[in-house]
Amino acid sequence: MKMEVNLEKDFLFKAVCRGHEVVTDQQQKEGGTDTAMTPAELFVASLGNCIGVFAVRFCKRHNLPTDGMKVLLDWTYAKDPVRIGSIKAELHYPHDIPEAEKKGLLRMAEACFVHETIQHKPEIVVELKA
């Protein structure tokens, strides 16, 4: 897979992949214009969206309704090095389902692609090309 991330101006970046675009910015206190999520917020959003996608897949396979489903996320920062230290994700499913399917839904949400990537740290190589 390939993606290109271009600086638009100041701290506003645009990522382009498969013809789709996502922008990030920094908060004003960090020198940005606060016109988009920060990269850290987008990272957390990516996890929440992925949990949602996997939950919907489970529901569709088990003929369960998906209306009203949502994922709420809360995170903290850590230092040395500065990073996201913890993330709490709550999958809200507003329908009655049997206990066995509740467990399956939770297992599926926990097994989403982004969560698995975080749990099994990918190798990241950063190179400078002048």
pLDDT digits (tens, 9 = 90+) for 34-45: 999 999 999 999
Task: Indicate if 72 and 106 belong to the same structural domain.
Answer: yes
Mean local confidence (pLDDT), 65-87: 97
Query: How much of the chain, in percent, has pLDDT values that exceed 90?
Result: 99
Q: What is the pLDDT of residue 123?
A: 97
Q: What is the pLDDT of residue 102?
A: 95
CA gap 91, 94 in Å, rounded: 10
Residue 127 belongs to a domain: no
Task: List the one residue out of 104, 95, 93, 96 whose CA is nearest residue 61.
Answer: 104
Read off the pLDDT band of 10 (50, 70, 90).
very high
Q: What is the pLDDT of residue 118?
A: 96
Q: Which domain holds residue 49?
A: 38-122
CA gap 107, 111 in Å, rounded: 6
CA gap 90, 121 in Å, rounded: 22
Task: Indicate if 64 and 108 belong to the same structural domain.
Answer: yes
Q: What is the pLDDT of residue 16?
A: 98
Number of domains in the chain: 2
